[in-house]
């Protein structure tokens, strides 16, 4: 659960950064300092499978 929360926090931060880089007048400053868009953190589909746990 902590990983999901951390991933969501990161993706929210990336979304805010990407919006600032693309929005006027921030885009002018971003271009001057060569700020770029960041990719979202995505997990591969095979890591989303349910893990079987046996307590016996």
* Cβ atoms 14, 38 nearer than 8 A: yes
**Which domain range does residue 24 map to?**
2-48
Structure tokens at 9: 């926090």
Q: How many structural domains are present in the chain?
A: 1
Residue matched to tokens 């307590």: 55
Whether 18 is in a domain gets the answer yes
**Predicted pLDDT of residue 46:** 75
Dist CA 33 CA 26 (whole Å): 11
pTM equals 0.67
Whether 54 is in a domain gets the answer no
Q: Binning pLDDT at 50, 70 and 90, where does residue 45 land?
A: confident
Residue 48 scores a pLDDT above 80: no
Q: Where are the alpha helices (DSSP H) in 1-56?
A: 2-22, 26-32
Whether 30 is in a domain gets the answer yes
């Amino acid at each position: 659960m902590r990983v999901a929360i951390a991933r969501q926090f990161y993706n929210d931060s990336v979304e805010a950064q990407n919006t600032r880089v693309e929005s006027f007048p921030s885009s002018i400053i971003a271009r001057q300092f060569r700020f770029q868009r960041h990719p979202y953190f995505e997990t591969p589909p095979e890591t989303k499978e349910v893990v079987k746990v046996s307590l016996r």
